[in-house]
């Protein structure tokens, strides 16, 4: 066996670890329904192992301590990842901050072509744990996350993370603007409170060997969704009609942004609340 050189060892070891995890847990996701207007997602960087096989991402060091894994950027040392996204059109109340290519784009602020398995693999590399796996009381959510379910859904346990958006504004080409995702969300009900500054990385569920975040294409949920990778731990997680994009801050639909997810190491993990009887 060839031992990697000192210069390539970090990326090589990371690549081995990520691909081993993916090979153990990944299952084929059902093909999402495609809009005739949808653009095909760009292929992730990597190599193809067999004719007709999907390209396999590889870990590459792009600057000291910062790596890419396909289109995901991350720093294990600093505890963050970034995924490329685009702003969606906003006609309906929001239930999600981020969904995958086959997710509920009519109910989300952002969408991404990044696969949920790769997203979760990198977060595991940063040291998070899948908080819902094996936890008592967290079964597969119903097909429809309606008001009845949300009213009794427990607060989900997990690791605290902070979410920021970074983008190049149309009025300042070459510049980069940064804002907490809370600045892009607006709550419209009489009990309105500010959007959360800290979110919870819950890690989704595996049910009968299927990774639910990949099946449902749910990545960052404003309402309680055990299938999502990240959930809102604060007020308003039980309300599916009150969240809107903040028109004063959100750029035009189609704008390319990067969602920056950073571990909030200054705060303790979010404990679970007990599921309420239905």
Report the pLDDT value the prediction gives residue 74, as an integer from 0 to 100.
Answer: 96
- Cα–Cα distance, 191 to 196 (Å, whole number): 15
Where exactly are the structural domains of the chain? Answer: 72-263
Report the pLDDT value the prediction gives residue 146, as an integer from 0 to 100.
Answer: 59
Assess whether pLDDT exceeds 60 at residue 129.
yes
- Token pair of 20 as six digits: 């081993």
**Cβ atoms within 10 Å of 206's Cβ, excluding its own:** 16
The mean pLDDT of 224-234, rounded to a whole number, is: 89
What are 163-219's pLDDT values in tens digits?
999 999 888 888 999 999 999 999 887 776 777 889 999 998 888 888 889 999 999
Burial 260-271 (b: 16+ CB within 10 A, else e): bbbbbeeeeebe
- Token pair of 23 as six digits: 């090979």
CA distance between the termini of the chain: 57
What are 24-35's pLDDT values in tens digits?
444 444 444 433
What percent of the chain has a predicted confidence (pLDDT) above 90?
42
Place of tokens 């009990």: 191
Q: Which residues contact residue 169 at a Cβ distance below 8 angstroms, ignoring those fewer than 6 apart?
A: 175, 177, 251
- Cα–Cα distance, 60 to 67 (Å, whole number): 5
What are 75-116's pLDDT values in tens digits?
999 999 999 999 998 778 899 999 999 998 989 999 999 999
CA-based nearest residue to 273, from 201, 224, 218: 224
């Amino acid at each position: 066996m060839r031992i990697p050189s000192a210069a390539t060892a970090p990326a090589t070891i990371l690549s081995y670890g990520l691909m081993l995890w993916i090979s153990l847990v990944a299952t084929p996701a059902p093909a999402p329904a495609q809009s005739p207007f949808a653009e095909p997602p760009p292929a992730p960087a990597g190599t193809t192992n067999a004719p007709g096989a999907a390209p396999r991402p590889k870990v590459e060091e792009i600057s000291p301590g910062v790596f890419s894994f396909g289109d995901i950027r991350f720093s294990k040392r600093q505890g963050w990842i970034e995924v490329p996204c685009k702003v969606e059109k906003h006609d309906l109340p929001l239930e999600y901050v981020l969904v995958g290519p086959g997710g509920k784009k009519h109910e989300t602020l952002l969408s991404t072509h990044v696969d949920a398995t790769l997203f979760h693999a990198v977060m595991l590399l940063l040291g998070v744990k899948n908080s819902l796996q094996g936890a008592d009381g967290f079964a597969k959510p119903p097909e429809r996350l309606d008001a009845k379910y949300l009213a009794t859904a427990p607060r989900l346990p997990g690791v605290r993370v902070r979410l920021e958006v970074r983008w190049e504004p149309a009025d300042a080409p070459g510049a980069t603007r940064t804002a907490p995702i809370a600045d892009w969300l607006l709550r419209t009900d009489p009990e309105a409170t500010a959007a959360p500054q800290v979110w919870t990385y819950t890690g989704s569920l595996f049910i009968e060997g299927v990774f639910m975040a990949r099946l449902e294409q749910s990545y960052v949920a404003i309402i309680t969704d055990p299938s999502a990778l990240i959930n809102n731990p604060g007020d308003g997680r039980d309300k599916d009609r009150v969240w809107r994009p903040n028109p004063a801050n959100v750029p035009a639909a189609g704008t390319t942004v990067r969602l920056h997810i950073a571990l909030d190491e200054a705060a303790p993990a979010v404990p679970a609340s007990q599921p309420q009887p239905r």
